[in-house]
Amino acid sequence: MANVGDKVKVFCKNDVLEGVLMPEEDSNIIFLKLVSGYNVGLKKSEIKKIEVLKKYKEISEKSSKPVMKKGLKTISILHTGGTIASKVDYSTGAVIAKFTEDDLLNLFPEIKGLANIKSKLVRNMQSEMMRFPHYNILAKAVAEEVKKGVDGIILTQGTDTIHYTSAALSFAFEGLGIPVIIVGSQRSSDRGSTDSAMNLLSAALFITKTDFSGVGVCMHENTNDKICWILPGTKVRKMHTSRRDAFRPINAGPIARINYEKETVTFATTYEKKDLKKKLTLKLFDEKLKIGLIKPHVHMYASEFEAFKNFDGLVIELLGIGHIPSMKVDEFTGENEKILKAVQSLAKKMPVVVAPQTIYGRIDMNVYSPGRDLIKAGVIGNYSDMTPETAFIKLAWLLSNHKKDVKELFEKNLRGELSERSEREEFLI
């Protein structure tokens, strides 16, 4: 008789499948975890036979209480959830989060030779559920570890909003003298193609091997397991739903490449160097702010903009080099004039800023009439090459800390979010 956790071969009417038997969620269906890591549900009525290939035997993990070794740097790992530090418990079929120092040493034993590890759970949640208060919580958690004198910090979270978090922390920290590297995993730990170990170990290697300071993101450069890179906190974006190399630098290059196998780090640009004498100051977010983000499109209505009339600020993702549907050109486009009036009205009430919907490239609203109309309407951010997500975070941060100077500071490079020039080589890097 097959039990949960057993490796089995299931003979169906039209197929034969092998996998691990998972807990039942429906009395009419059995669930298998395939070798690929994916789960499949099979109707019991279509199953001819189940053959047990290997009985499940729970393996007790040996406790290896962490010992602080002299000569090794100390890294604090702060967790917010995600799959980076988790594994499958086949007695329940669940992916269990592992957050203690002992857990991490069991999951990633290679890290013992790199650094002394401290580990702390800050939050356990999906990254898409985060709000401004969570950025303040994370910033304060980092500040606590900085006070303890650690050499670097790794922050783990789900990948969906890593680029929001990296931008938020980049702005929140002033006088950061050590590295804060954000790490995620595109593939869960129960899949053979998981990238969790490589990303985490590469981040640790980077911290121990370099004198970098600042906020960065460590993820795969490509789909193999040889190279990870460090990406700038305000110039990174998730560009694929599932690929391991989903995170790309936007209108910029990577900070560094890490070959974990060879234990080498190669910098690709200049960077701020570690300075333990710096005094960290936190510039946190107003947790009650309402910031909108709107994507113009064809057949748009003014009411879509008017929906943000009670917000504190708005980011518009401009079409092309800097446009929205704002001009009446024939008998079908009268609504466009109403759209421009709606933007004018909003800009009188709140900061309305812009970012390129194309993601790559730079806005220049002076080129065509629709763009010049937006400048007259009072929108902010001409010549910006910020991603929409970074523009969203920067606007929220400015309204939280520099409300009177939003127009001046939004168009000024504060944390590497604006490039001085656009390089041809940085497109689709």
8 A C-beta contact, residue 354 and residue 379: yes
CA dihedral sign of residues 153, 154, 160, 162: positive
8 A C-beta contact, residue 22 and residue 33: yes
3-state SS string for the chain: CCCCCCEEEEEECCCEEEEEECCCCECCEEEEECCCCCEEEEEHHHEEEEEEEECCCCCCCCCCCCCCCCCCEEEEEEECCCCCCEEEECCCCEEEECCCHHHHHHHCHHHHHCEEEEEEECCCCCHHHCCHHHHHHHHHHHHHHHHCCCCEEEEECCCCCHHHHHHHHHHHEECCCCEEEEECCCCCCCCCCCCHHHHHHHHHHHHHHCCECEEEEEEECCCCCCEEEEEECCCEEECCCCCCCCEEECCCCCCEEEECCCCEEEECCCCCECCCCCCCEECCCCCCCCEEEECCCCCCCHHHHHCCCCCCEEEEEEECCCECCCCCCCCCCHHHHHHHHHHHHHHHHCCEEEEECCCCCCCCCCCCHHHHHHHHHCCECCCCCCCHHHHHHHHHHHHHHCHHHHHHHHCCCCCCCCCCCCCHHHCCC
What amino acid positions are annotated as catalytic residues? 83, 159-160, 238
